[in-house]
């Protein structure tokens, strides 16, 4: 976890803590006691679930936004590199 999270915290996480944690650690498998508290909060909190979904959807948007490499662009590349047969 980041320095922000490694600060020793004994209180329960707030929504802001959870949202920060999502931006820090999305996609990581973490099992520290603090992470378990964060997951417990997330399961009960609609607002944090919406936040989690929106960060995940943001990533999915950019992942799925692809462009096609045309045959013309491929041919120009091969010619540019002097690899044309």
Residues at the interface with other proteins (CB under 8 A): 2-3, 14-16, 19-20, 23-24, 26-27, 46-48, 50-51, 53-55, 57-67, 69, 73-74, 76-78, 80-83
State which residue, 33 or 82, has the beta carbon closest to other proteins. 82
Least distance (Å) between residue 36 CB and other proteins: 20
CB nearer to other proteins: pick between 44 and 62: 62
The vertex-59 CA angle with 67 and 12, nearest 5°, equals: 175
How far from 81 is each of 21, 70, 78, CA to CA, in Å? 46, 17, 5
Closer CB to other proteins, 38 or 48, in the complex: 48
Question: Where do we find the tokens 């976890």?
Answer: 1
CA angle, corner 83, sides to 78 and 85, nearest 5?
105
């Amino acid at each position: 976890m980041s320095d922000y999270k490694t600060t020793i915290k004994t209180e329960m996480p707030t929504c802001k803590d959870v949202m920060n944690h999502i931006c820090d650690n999305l996609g990581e498998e973490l099992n520290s006691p603090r992470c378990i508290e964060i997951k417990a909060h997330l399961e009960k909190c609609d607002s944090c679930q919406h936040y989690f979904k929106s960060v995940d959807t943001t990533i999915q948007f950019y992942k799925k936004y692809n462009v096609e490499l045309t045959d013309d662009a491929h041919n120009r590349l091969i010619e540019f590199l002097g690899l044309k047969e």
